């Protein structure tokens, strides 16, 4: 089954481009974002719900608002729901347009992970119980450099969880069981491309827009109305972590904004590393300058009609950035 993946770093314009492609070909969006699954977390996760349209013109979207923020949502649950949605779209003859955000989720779909990320493994956790935080991080880096980059190393439970997933993926890669081939997607990968300077500008503009839209008020509601502790909020990523610290009086607004801007830019750089590795692993990503809708639609039309696809004009892994880039 053919599927279009719209990927790329934060603030690059994935949602708008994915909606345009889905609307042009009667497709439906499947969000591949590890935080947009949570209800009540709209501004900080960048759901941009208005992008999908309204009424009859609204493009259907899946895997947004499917979990309570008090729940634990993981890769295993994502893959179970993803498979069911793809099966439904197949039956209805609809084009899956996967839009994401979380490179690990994308990698799991593209590389047919069997279903890593299930329940915690007590035996593995017992085995690692005597290791220091530094030793756990070293173990994770050795088993999965990709997960190591993605994981928050300041939280021991997240490092342990990443190690469990890494061990499951390692075991799957050695398996010849047909159970591992849980889907048969034929993918086209498209991504909006912007220079690093332009990405920095877009990130700052979007951050200020989110602050005006009520990012801090959203975090307050999650704490006061949804009953999420400050500690729980700090686990939901940069925006929620730093907003929680600001609301607790640990930093003033100017410091909060400055730190958040710098950290989001750093996160964007880490996403860049994921996509470079995708390319080195043999995946063709069609980077579209400025995220132009017309070019994305033309690529998708050729793909769906079975034409030979051109080689990507831009390869991120071949672009070297200087110290001022």
Q: Which residues pair with 3 in a beta bridge?
A: 187
In the predicted model, is pLDDT for residue 74 greater than 90? no
Q: Indicate if 192 and 239 belong to the same structural domain.
A: yes
Distance CA(138)–CA(77), nearest Å, equals: 27
Distance CA(28)–CA(91), nearest Å, equals: 13
Comparing 88 with 72, the larger pLDDT belongs to 88
Q: What is the pLDDT of residues 225-274, one digit of tens each?
A: 999 999 999 889 899 999 999 999 999 999 999 999 999 999 998 889 88
Residue 321 domain flag: no
Closest CA to 237 of 273, 264, 201: 264
Using pLDDT thresholds of 50, 70 and 90, give the confidence band for residue 116.
very low
Among 7-16, 126-135, 208-217, the least confident range: 126-135
Closest CA to 102 of 199, 36, 165: 36
* Residue 66 belongs to domain spanning: 2-112+182-316
Q: Indicate if 131 and 80 belong to the same structural domain.
A: no
How far, in Å, are 99, 205, 297 from residue 21 at the CA level? Answer: 11, 25, 6
pTM for the structure as a whole = 0.81
CB-neighbour burial class of residue 284 (10 A; exposed 0-12, middle 13-18, buried 19+): middle
Domain stops at, among 132, 159, 179: 179
Q: Indicate if 195 and 161 belong to the same structural domain.
A: no
DSSP result, 33-51: -SSTTBTT--TTTT--GGG
Comparing 44 with 126, the larger pLDDT belongs to 44
Q: Indicate if 81 and 206 belong to the same structural domain.
A: yes
In the predicted model, is pLDDT for residue 178 greater than 50? no
**Mean pLDDT value of segment 197-217:** 97
Q: Indicate if 243 and 277 belong to the same structural domain.
A: yes
For 222, phi and psi rounded to 5 degrees? -60, -35
Using pLDDT thresholds of 50, 70 and 90, give the confidence band for residue 176.
very low
Please give the pLDDT value at position 177.
40
Domain stops at, among 179, 211, 229: 179
Sign of the Cα pseudo-torsion (12, 45, 162, 139, in order): positive
Q: Indicate if 208 and 283 belong to the same structural domain.
A: yes
- The DSSP code for 52 is G
- The DSSP code for 180 is G
Q: Which residues of 163-196 are buried (b: 16+ CB within 10 A; e: fewer)?
A: bbbbbbbeebeeeeeeeeebeebebbbbbbbbeb
User: 247: domain CATH number?
Assistant: 3.40.50.300
**Mean pLDDT value of segment 46-66:** 94
**Mean pLDDT value of segment 197-208:** 96
In the predicted model, is pLDDT for residue 174 greater than 60? no
3-class DSSP state for residue 71?
coil
Residue 218 domain flag: yes
Please give the pLDDT value at position 179.
42
**Mean pLDDT value of segment 293-298:** 98
In the predicted model, is pLDDT for residue 22 greater than 70? yes
Counted domains in the chain: 2
Residue 322 domain flag: no
- Answer yes or no: are the C-beta atoms of 234 and 158 closer than 8 Å: no
Element (H, E) at 287: strand 285-289
C-alpha triplet 191, 192, 197: angle, nearest 5°: 130
Please give the pLDDT value at position 126.
76
Q: Indicate if 107 and 150 belong to the same structural domain.
A: no
In the predicted model, is pLDDT for residue 70 greater than 80? yes
């Amino acid at each position: 089954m053919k599927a279009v993946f719209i990927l790329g770093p934060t603030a690059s314009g994935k949602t708008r481009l994915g909606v345009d492609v889905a609307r042009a070909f009667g497709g439906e969006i499947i969000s591949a974002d590890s935080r947009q699954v949570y209800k009540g977390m709209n501004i900080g996760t960048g759901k941009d719900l208005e992008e999908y349209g309204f009424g009859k013109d609204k493009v259907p979207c899946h895997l947004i608002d499917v979990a309570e923020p008090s729940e634990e949502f993981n890769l295993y649950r994502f893959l179970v729901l993803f498979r069911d949605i793809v099966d439904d779209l197949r039956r209805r003859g609809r084009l899956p347009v996967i839009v994401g955000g979380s490179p690990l989720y994308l990698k799991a779909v593209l590389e047919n992970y069997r279903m890593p990320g299930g329940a915690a493994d007590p035996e593995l956790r017992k085995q690692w119980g005597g290791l220091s935080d530094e030793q756990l991080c070293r173990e994770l880096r050795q088993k999965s450099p990709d997960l190591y980059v993605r994981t928050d190393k300041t939280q021991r439970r997240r490092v342990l969880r990443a190690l469990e997933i890494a061990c499951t993926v390692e075991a799957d890669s050695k398996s010849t069981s047909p159970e591992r081939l849980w889907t048969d997607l034929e993918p086209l990968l498209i991504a909006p491309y912007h220079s690093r300077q332009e990405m920095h500008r877009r990130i700052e503009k979007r951050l200020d827009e989110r602050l005006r839209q009520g990012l801090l008020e959203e975090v307050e509601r999650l704490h006061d109305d949804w009953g999420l502790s400050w500690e729980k909020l700090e686990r939901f990523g940069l925006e929620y972590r730093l907003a929680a610290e600001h609301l607790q009086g640990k930093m003033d607004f100017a410091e909060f904004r400055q730190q958040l801007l710098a950290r989001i830019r750093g996160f964007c750089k880490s996403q860049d590393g994921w996509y470079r590795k995708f390319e080195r692993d043999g995946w063709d990503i069609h980077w579209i300058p400025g995220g132009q809708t017309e070019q994305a639609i033309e690529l998708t039309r050729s793909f769906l009609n079975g034409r030979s696809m051109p080689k990507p004009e831009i390869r991120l892994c071949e672009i070297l950035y200087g110290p001022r880039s």
